[in-house]
């Protein structure tokens, strides 16, 4: 949670003074690479995933994807025309990380048998993945209400063109996720995520231990 959610949102908040100085007609651009489009479960009464059984891999991933999009949506609404957010699933990218000597033994044994052929079949070269990420910082993915958006601005995560928060698949195509947010009473949960996250930031900045 610290690495995949809280730290990323903290980077954005801390950089706001600089981001808001952007002179780009389509706004400053934030590209967050994780698992966009994997929305499934969200525990609105356990946002930190502290309760037993809530932090398995797939559930935690889904939960954090929801939280990131909702927090970004709040920022996009607060700073219209100023900041665009792309939450992106990059696909299976061939990076040096697969050769990390600290990986567990089981992974080192299975990767040449399963992982390497899979990368060869459906993987994305690192250079191509990087180019696709740069594409997400173009006016097609403009900030909400930006005057300088592209002629055909992308559809946001809520199904509205030019929302300013975009859920993007590995080929830079929009992933339709609006139904997942309709199921959770998006506006209400967005405020809850916003309050929870800022409370975490405030307490940790004050030297306290965040326990909620």
Q: What is the pTM of this model?
A: 0.89
Alpha carbon distance 149, 45 (integer Å): 37
Report yes or no on 25 lying in a domain: yes
Residue 211, domain member (yes or no)? no
DSSP-derived secondary structure letter, 125: E
Three-state DSSP at 82 gives coil
pLDDT digits (tens, 9 = 90+) for 128-173: 989 999 999 999 999 998 865 556 899 999 999 999 999 999 889 9
* Structural domain for 93, as ranges: 2-205
Helix (H, G, I), strand (E, B) or coil at 175: coil
In whole angstroms, give the CA distance from residue 193 to residue 69: 10
- Give the chain's domain count: 1
- For residue 16, the tally of other CB atoms under 10 A from its CB is 15
User: Could you tell me if residue 192 is inside a domain?
Assistant: yes
Establish if 146 belongs to a structural domain.
Answer: yes
Q: What is the tens place of the pLDDT at every residue in 96-124?
A: 777 888 888 888 888 788 877 777 777 78
Residue 210 is assigned to a structural domain of this protein:
no
Within a domain: 150: yes
Task: Classify residue 117: in a domain, yes or no.
Answer: yes
């Amino acid at each position: 949670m610290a690495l995949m959610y809280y730290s990323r949102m903290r980077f954005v908040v801390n950089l706001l003074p600089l981001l808001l100085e952007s002179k780009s007609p389509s706004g400053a651009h934030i590209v967050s690479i994780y698992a966009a489009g994997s929305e499934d479960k969200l525990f609105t009464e356990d946002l930190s995933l502290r309760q037993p059984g809530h932090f398995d891999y797939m559930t935690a991933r889904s939960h954090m994807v929801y939280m990131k999009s909702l927090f970004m949506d709040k920022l996009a609404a607060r700073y219209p025309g100023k900041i665009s957010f792309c939450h992106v699933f990059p696909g299976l990218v061939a990076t040096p990380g697969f050769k990390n000597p600290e990986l567990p033994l089981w992974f080192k044994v299975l990767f040449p048998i399963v992982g390497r052929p899979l990368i060869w079949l459906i993987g994305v070269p690192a250079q191509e993945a990087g180019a696709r990420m740069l594409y997400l910082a173009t006016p097609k993915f403009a900030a909400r209400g930006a005057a300088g958006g592209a002629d055909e601005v992308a559809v946001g995560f809520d199904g509205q063109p030019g929302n300013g928060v975009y859920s993007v698949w590995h080929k830079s195509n929009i992933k339709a996720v609006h139904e997942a947010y309709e199921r959770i009473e998006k506006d209400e949960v967005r405020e809850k995520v916003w309050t929870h996250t800022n409370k975490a930031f405030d307490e940790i900045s004050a030297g306290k231990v965040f326990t909620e």
